[in-house]
Amino acid sequence: MADIYLRQISDCIWEIPQRGGMRVPGRIYATPELMADIRKDAAVEQVVNVAHLPGIVGYSLAMPDIHWGYGFPIGGVAAVDAEEGVITPGGIGFDINCGVRLVSTNLQVSEIQAKLPLLADALFAMIPCGVGAEGAIPKLSRAEEKKLATKGVQWAIANGFGSDADAEHTEENGCLAGADPAALSDEALGRGLTQVGTLGSGNHFLEVDRIEEIYEPEIAAALGLSVGQVAIIIHSGSRGLGHQTCEDALKVMGKAMEKYHIVMPDRQLACAPIPSPEGRQYLAAMACAANYAWVNRQVMMSIAEKAFLKALQVSPRELGFRLIYDVCHNIAKPETHEVDGVKRKVWVHRKGATRAFGPGHPAIPASVRALGQPVLIPGDMGRYSFLLVGTDRAMKETFGSTCHGAGRLMSRMQAKKVGKGRDLDEELAKQGVIARYRGKGTFAEEMPYAYKDVADVVDVVDRAGISKKVVKLKPLAVIKG
């Protein structure tokens, strides 16, 4: 908001000094150009509001893709003391463990160019997408769904969707500790029974990409990536189960605020002490939803491999489908970070923000540990996406966090108005992108003009040193809800 004072303290860091009920200052990573857009909605005010959370340490942080969200800004990061802090569902979001996975292949774009329309058709036919999409796999029993919510990716692997190598290259090995299906409501369980392996709608997508440019040749080579190679990006989350879990928790947290005498400037930041019964129940349910999301992306990856084999008529060996990494960007996790020179156990809320641990961190798989955690930043469906790696500086400045995407410039309603009467398919085709989608309205909401240029966002985190650019990917075909 215009009345909130922001002090530029470095090339791309802005600070909001502590005032009133703020327990810590705020910090936003952005260029002056991006800041001009950021100031147009209430996201800056939300950074201030988050700084009021009991137990928050360091800073209320925001990445350059920041825009308004429920309670927390999307692009917000906050760490709270594990004993004295609170957990707030608004700091995780409705789509718990919405995340991104990058898959590489042995194929070159030149080998598949002529069959791209067939490949897009096969992916669109085999992976259900759109609002309420279901039916990718047979309906689960409730008992089986509870196993899935507890075991995460290992459930998918045990049921024939992928291999142990996939778990190794998934954040948290695809299973968040502390999951307890008893913490889920019947409605949340009911909504999740038929949606495993489905893309959903909104900004979720599956994309066939070309590796366009390499910035760090040694890191790219270590990951087996080269210019001209075909890759796949999958972006989705916990579907109806996660959304219902957040809805359920917000009702509980509203009452908990009164019980524990917590006052926040925005009721959308409803929260409860982490050690409280309400806090523990939410964390157990959130872990279930996170595990569901990892299974969802794992199953979609397996179905996508089948679609490639069918459309391209190649062998699995020729295809070489291989998971590079899977990251989540709507989650809270217990981590140890140095705060004011002292190591502290904290719960880090990342809402529209990605973990970016530096080289050597034990949470990173051994096969890529020396590189830093892979970080996947999708852009809009017409331009490009990026692979980065985490850095030591992120560990010192942002609790090992970086951005998560391009960030919206327009509301969904504005984007629909702008797209009215335009041939959106033709516009994407001119950018070299084949699109398959369910709803014309949703498609219009997600057009490139509705988003910031992700290159501008990624340049900020690269210049700030909180993650490092490795590879740029260009979309060839996109599947949307």
Please say whether the beta carbons of 331 and 358 come within 8 A.
Answer: no
The 10s digit of each residue's pLDDT in 339-390 is 999 999 999 999 999 999 999 999 999 999 999 999 999 999 999 999 999 9
Please say whether the beta carbons of 293 and 238 come within 8 A.
Answer: yes
The 10s digit of each residue's pLDDT in 207-221 is 999 999 999 999 999
Residue 404 is among the residues annotated as catalytic for this protein = yes
Token digits of residue 203: 């900004």
In a domain, residue 234? The reply is yes
Residue (of 172, 190, 189) closest to 285 by Cα position:
189
Cα angle: 153, vertex 157, 162; to 5 degrees: 105
In a domain, residue 251? The reply is no
In a domain, residue 71? The reply is no
CA distance 25 to 390: 24
Percent of the chain's residues with pLDDT above 90: 96
Q: What are the DSSP E strand ranges found in 177-316?
A: 205-214, 229-236, 272-273
In a domain, residue 356? The reply is no
Query: Which pLDDT belongs to residue 253?
Result: 97
In a domain, residue 295? The reply is no
- Residue reference for tokens 């809320």: 349
Q: How many domains does the chain have?
A: 1
The 10s digit of each residue's pLDDT in 231-251 is 999 999 999 999 999 999 999
**CATH number (domain holding residue 414):** 3.90.1860.10
Query: Which pLDDT belongs to residue 1?
Result: 44
In a domain, residue 474? The reply is yes
Total residue count of the chain as it appears in this document: 481
In a domain, residue 301? The reply is no
Query: What's the whole-model pTM score?
Result: 0.97
CA distance 229 to 221: 12
List 324's β-bridge partners, or say none.
none
Please say whether the beta carbons of 23 and 54 come within 8 A.
Answer: yes
Range of the domain at 218: 99-133+198-239+314-333+363-480
| Statement: residue 2 has pLDDT above 70 | no
Residue (of 375, 341, 340) closest to 356 by Cα position:
375
In a domain, residue 457? The reply is yes
Please say whether the beta carbons of 198 and 468 come within 8 A.
Answer: no
